[in-house]
Amino acid sequence: MKHKDYLLSAVLFGFMGYLWVLFTNHVFHISDQISFGTFASIILFIIGFLLFGSIIKRLSPLNHFKLNHPVNLVGFASLLIVVAINLTAFQSF
């Protein structure tokens, strides 16, 4: 594997992690303002999470690798790091 593949995976998945944090913040703020209720907020969150998962699964440069390939593992690790940093350092929820 080339270093370019690892870097591309880390950058793409890190960006997707940031988008996931923005999406969840938006869903929670909208549900607080409109007072959807807890059940509707959970349904919106689950639908968004499933759509987000389908986008991550089909990232074009990385979709030919298996899920346990090192390039994908680096990507998933960067996604988790971005989400963890946003949850702990910035307390986005």
- pTM, 2 dp: 0.74
Within a domain: 65? yes
Structure tokens at 32: 């607080």
User: What pLDDT, on the 0 to 100 scale, is given for residue 1?
Assistant: 64
72-81: pLDDT as tens digits: 788 888 988 9
Within a domain: 29? yes
Residue from 17, 11, 16, 5 nearest 62 by CA? 5
Domain interval for residue 54: 3-88
pLDDT at 46 over 70: yes
pLDDT at 68 over 80: no
Considering its fold, how many domains does the chain have in total? Answer: 1
Within a domain: 93? no
CB-based burial label for 13 (10 Å; 0-12, 13-18, 19+) = buried
